[in-house]
Structure 1
Amino acid sequence: MIFHKHYILAFLLILVCGTSCKKFLDIEPRGKVMLKTISDFDLLLNGRGLTSSGNSYLNLMTDECDKPAIKSDDYSSDALSYLWQEQLTADAGKPPVIWTEAYTNIYVYNAVINQVENATTGSVLEKKKLKAEALLGRAFEYLYLVNMYAKPYNKATADVDLSVPFVNSTDITTKTPARATVNFMYNQILNDINAALPDLMKGNNPNKFRGSVNAAYSVLARAYFWKNDYTEAEKYAVLALADPANGLLDLNTFAAPGDMPAMIASKQEIYARYGTTPIQTLASDINFLKTFSEGDLRLKMYYVNVSLNYAPVETIDFTKLKRGDILFYPQGPVPSFGTSVAEMKLIIAEAAARSGNLSLALTHLNELRLSRMSNKKPYQPYESSDPEMVLQQILMERRHELASSGMRWIDMRRLDVEKRIPAINRFDANGKIIMTLQPNSKQYVLKIPTNVLGFNPDMPQN
């Protein structure tokens, strides 16, 4: 990689250690990045690390997975996440999961934002485009962080609720900033994306891991959605879907999971991202499985039955089903932690349902379901004149469509505020309750990692 590997290490340690890790300041080149030409910066944005955002540990925190073989002496990050422990990295001497991956990406984006205009080659337009892509990428990382390490957005308290440090420097001698407020962080995210929009590639980017106007609209839609501003979320979701190159995949057209197009080639992906620390195989909670309709092809495409030699799930006999029998086990493309056509349609549907526009809500809901249900029987559109019933159906559809993509945990956070999430229990192999996530629990907000606080003693804990 063009980027000096020792510099990344030094930055990560300085982020964790504050200004106390003096020995790492002796690494050459001091505070410099091996980036000169426009090609150097372009290659940096193609780095493998930037293809992953969010974190797969989020899936383990949800009400959709099960770990029937969980053991009391398991201190892996998987188990700690599943049991909603205060720290997700047992060894405080190791880089903390989630935090480290996000700030590594942020550091790379900052290098482009701060230095690409000084590139020795390339036109002004080329430099602006790369800076715009980096602004969008950084905003996307911070959007995840604010929705993991801060309380869900609340307009009444957003100016005092603490989020994460807003790091915009690549100078390793700079002291780690104080934790920004939730309101500051959302404003920064929205401002950066809007600043990027004029210089981004129009429509979709052929490389869906890179920025584009459509990608920016989709991230704006998600940001406003998580901010509970459903009017703006709907507006930008509509804009994100305007490109005729976008569209839903009809699962009826694929005989097997492996026939589905890869994430980067799929017309329904807008801003593609793998999850960091991929956890692709998850035992599914039986109660969650019971919410799928008969003929839902997502079962066949993403789930397997362990008791039937990992055969794709066509139908489920719940009278014989045991915990751990059904795994989320994609044998084709893995779920994207980025934005998609399906997510945008669900944002429009939920926003419309909440505003009372049930016709629009049902249109988008049924368009999505039509492409997911088997055509062996005529599709029966979902219909209701009850706003609450329509909203509940849309929320359930989000669970089915966005399963294991990091979305459910953040949905649980925002819906818990509306008292829509009951207590969630974790059970051992014998069915004994070993942990409960109560409504309005402080566990919905991740703790700042111990080693970050150890080297930043003035940083308040959640």
Structure 2
Amino acid sequence: MKRYNYLLATFLLLYLFSSCQKSFLNEKPDQALLVPESLSDFQALLDNLNIMNVTPSLQNVATDDYYTTDNGWSALSSPAEKNSYIWLSDIYENQTNQDWNIPYKQVFYANVVLDGLNQIGPGNTSQNTYNQIKGSALFYRAFAEYNLIQMFAADYDPATASQLPGIPVRSSSDVNIKSTRGSIKETYEAIVADLNNAALLLSNTAAFKSRPCKTAVYALLSKIYLSMRNYSQAQAFATACLNLNSSLIDYNTILTSASRPFPPPLTADNKEVIFYATLNSYSFNRAATTYVNADLYNAYNSNDLRKTAYFNMRGTGYNFKGTYTGNVSFFAGLATDEIYFIRAECEARLNNLTEALTDLNTVMALRFVNGTYTNYTTTDPNQALIKILLERRKELISRGVRWYDLKRLNREASTAVTLSRSLRGQNHTLLPNSNRYVFPIPDDEIAANGLPQNPR
């Protein structure tokens, strides 16, 4: 029990601070702090929205969906934002970074809960309550590690996944255990194992959309297998998810001209939201001078309700407003519209053309002014795939997925993209498959743990 209290004290020390002054993974505890001991205490730890439901966001700064002005770039609040925007080698300038720290806090808190549950057992409380908390902790750990490996490791390639470094996978809350980087393959295996175990424990739905459920597990597994380019598995888990929740919003039923068109899922009913999470808050995401790429904006049909639901004119361009959070934060959780697009893409790649077009048209019919959408048809799976990928990009803007899509799609010559920006009279270019698609690990972690740095 003494060792258990030591681990929980470690949690509480880190819970008190929003960021660490040195390596997060090596922070040591103050044993004088009080510790949680009950299932309700553990549930309260997992219900910390400001930690457990936040995802990395620098990839949103770096993507080609947006641009800013020279003055807008100068006004950005951190070197990480400025340097990510133009894909420099040194992003952090010796500062710590929350895109690394927050997911590892999630992993740490999840491990504290899992270690604690192993100590106390279900006791006299409901076995179901115990299972829900354990399944939630496994989901949160997997969700954090998925976001970390998307940011801080190379794209999954079966030919190299066993050789290239993944991320440190932490399965214990004991900070004295040294952090190491296993392979990309080992990281994905750990994530999938956690989710498979979580699926055995969680209910189909959760009492609150900020909590995980089995539907969320299947949604995340579909995203993971898509990133691995395992299209049959991604299709299967997308189907499992949609069998539990296939709800979509008819955009004709919302006031698209409103400043916040979508209902907040934590207090109202956004029926597409499966699991609530937000992008880490950076000034870039909120700035009036952050504009949607003009070519992307012009790709929306005039009868496409997303054009007015997602954007409003401000200054010299269009700002994004259509977040599924219903507030100023950008939605980065799991929603049914994304799962439809995952399944549609997989069906197209598997040459199941009828099924692919059915999923595409199911979503698109609810995005256009009533009576103006004509079902998309083609006999060419490649043309269907191009259309699905375009509509996926237009549907999921500002959810943090575009950068990850670029990483995986750059592996294919037909979908590879060269990014370019002009800033202060200087042109910046990012080539497909560049090392700079992989974010560097913060310098403090490299120094403290001797982790191999990502080549830039």
TM-score by length of 2: 0.88
Cα displacement string for residues 170-209 of structure 1 (whole angstroms, at most 9, x for unaligned residues): 123232x2111110011111111111111101x2213112
Secondary structure, aligned partner of 2:146:
helix
Q: Separation in 2 of the partners of 1:98 and 1:128?
A: 29
How many Å apart are 1:112 and its aligned residue? 0.9
After superposition, the CA RMSD in angstroms is 2.6
Where does residue 341 of structure 1 map in the other structure? 336
Where does residue 23 of structure 2 map in the other structure? 16
1:153–1:51 distance in 2 versus 1, CA, 3 Å? same
**One-letter amino acid matched to 1:434:** N
How many Å apart are 1:220 and its aligned residue? 0.9
How many Å apart are 1:38 and its aligned residue? 1.1
Greater CA deviation, 69-78 or 379-388? 69-78
How many Å apart are 1:224 and its aligned residue? 0.8
1:416–1:4 distance in 2 versus 1, CA, 3 Å? closer
Secondary structure, aligned partner of 1:209:
coil
1:112–1:283 distance in 2 versus 1, CA, 3 Å? same
Secondary structure, aligned partner of 2:399:
coil
Q: Separation in 2 of the partners of 1:17 and 1:81?
A: 22
Secondary structure, aligned partner of 1:326:
strand
How many Å apart are 1:46 and its aligned residue? 0.9
Where does residue 171 of structure 2 map in the other structure? 168
* Aligned ranges 1:15-164 → 2 under 5 Å: 16=23, 24-25=28-29, 27-29=30-32, 34-69=35-70, 76-90=79-93, 92=94, 94-119=95-120, 122-164=125-167
Q: Confirm or deny that 1:288 pairs with 2:296.
A: yes
* Aligned ranges 1:388-399 → 2 under 5 Å: 388-399=382-393
Where does residue 319 of structure 1 map in the other structure? none
Q: Confirm or deny that 1:370 pairs with 2:365.
A: yes
Where does residue 13 of structure 2 map in the other structure? 6
**One-letter amino acid matched to 2:236:** K
1:255–1:49 distance in 2 versus 1, CA, 3 Å? closer
Greater CA deviation, 62-71 or 391-400? 62-71
- Aligned partners of 2:338 and 2:396 also within 8 Å: yes
1:192–1:4 distance in 2 versus 1, CA, 3 Å? closer
Greater CA deviation, 275-284 or 292-301? 275-284
* Aligned ranges 1:59-458 → 2 under 5 Å: 59-69=60-70, 76-90=79-93, 92=94, 94-119=95-120, 122-175=125-178, 177-201=179-203, 203-243=204-244, 246-256=246-256, 257=258, 258-264=260-266, 265-277=269-281, 279-281=285-287, 282-307=290-315, 324-330=316-322, 332-333=326-327, 335-375=330-370, 377-419=371-413, 420-428=415-423, 432-457=425-450
Q: Separation in 2 of the partners of 1:182 and 1:96?
A: 22
**One-letter amino acid matched to 1:183:** K
**One-letter amino acid matched to 1:187:** E
Secondary structure, aligned partner of 1:247:
coil
Secondary structure, aligned partner of 2:64:
coil
- Aligned partners of 2:445 and 2:451 also within 8 Å: no
Could you tell me which runs of 5 or more consecutive residues in structure 1 were left unpaired when the two chains were aligned: 308-323
How many Å apart are 1:369 and its aligned residue? 0.7
Could you tell me which runs of 5 or more consecutive residues in structure 2 were left unpaired when the two chains were aligned: 1-7
**One-letter amino acid matched to 1:151:** A
**One-letter amino acid matched to 2:402:** R
- Aligned partners of 1:132 and 1:199 also within 8 Å: yes
How many Å apart are 1:363 and its aligned residue? 0.6
How many Å apart are 1:43 and its aligned residue? 1.0
Q: Separation in 1 of the partners of 2:34 and 2:188?
A: 29
How many Å apart are 1:341 and its aligned residue? 0.6
1:139–1:15 distance in 2 versus 1, CA, 3 Å? farther
Q: Separation in 2 of the partners of 1:17 and 1:4?
A: 12
Percent identity of paired positions between Structure 1 and Structure 2: 26
- Aligned partners of 1:237 and 1:348 also within 8 Å: yes
1:455–1:11 distance in 2 versus 1, CA, 3 Å? farther
1:190–1:458 distance in 2 versus 1, CA, 3 Å? closer
Structure 1: 4+ residue segments shifted above 6 A: 9-12
Secondary structure, aligned partner of 1:242:
helix
1:263–1:117 distance in 2 versus 1, CA, 3 Å? same
1:225–1:428 distance in 2 versus 1, CA, 3 Å? same
1:65–1:340 distance in 2 versus 1, CA, 3 Å? same
